[in-house]
């Protein structure tokens, strides 16, 4: 694979998949979903912050774009061309890359009261998010 694949990608698919992946995070980390458990596992104070900076949203959006772009490149290289192949692509990237990285990091993070819970919630988000992004990419690549 070379970087010339970037010219072959459907950039609308990458953008839409990125937005879907990021939007899932807004729901996943909301208080009514996993937000409170994630905050407790991180050792954060559960009172709402006084001021939230743009970085709280910009950094996850950029990282969702980067991992969606990498997934699209893998999808193109593997000739993923329908929704089921896209779902499988997302699951492979999520379970094969995101899950082990999050759990390995969590296993050695002694700064959090419940590092494995913290890592598992994050890994779950990436597995579901990448599966969603993979489905979108599979439809449009």
User: Residue 52: what pLDDT?
Assistant: 75
Give the integer Cα–Cα distance in Å for 132 and 27.
14
Instruction: Say what the pLDDT of residue 47 is.
Output: 72
Per residue of the chain (141 residues), what is the pLDDT tens digit?
778 888 889 999 999 999 999 999 999 999 999 999 999 999 987 776 677 777 788 999 999 999 999 999 999 999 999 999 999 999 999 999 999 999 999 989 889 999 999 999 999 999 999 999 999 999 997
3-state secondary structure of 5: helix
First and final CA of the chain: distance in angstroms?
A: 16
């Amino acid at each position: 694979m070379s970087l010339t694949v970037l010219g072959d990608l459907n950039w609308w698919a990458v953008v839409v998949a990125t937005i879907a992946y990021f939007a899932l995070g807004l729901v996943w980390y909301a208080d009514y979903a996993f937000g409170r458990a994630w905050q407790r596992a991180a050792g954060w104070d559960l009172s709402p912050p006084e001021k939230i900076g743009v970085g709280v949203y910009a950094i996850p959006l950029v990282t969702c774009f980067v991992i969606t772009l990498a997934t699209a490149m893998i999808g193109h290289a593997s000739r993923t061309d329908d929704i089921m192949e896209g779902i499988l692509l997302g699951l492979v990237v999520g379970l094969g890359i995101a899950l082990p990285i999050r759990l390995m990091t969590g296993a050695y993070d002694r700064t959090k009261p419940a590092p494995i819970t913290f890592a598992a919630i994050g890994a779950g988000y990436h597995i579901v998010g990448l599966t969603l992004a993979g489905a979108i990419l599979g439809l449009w690549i």
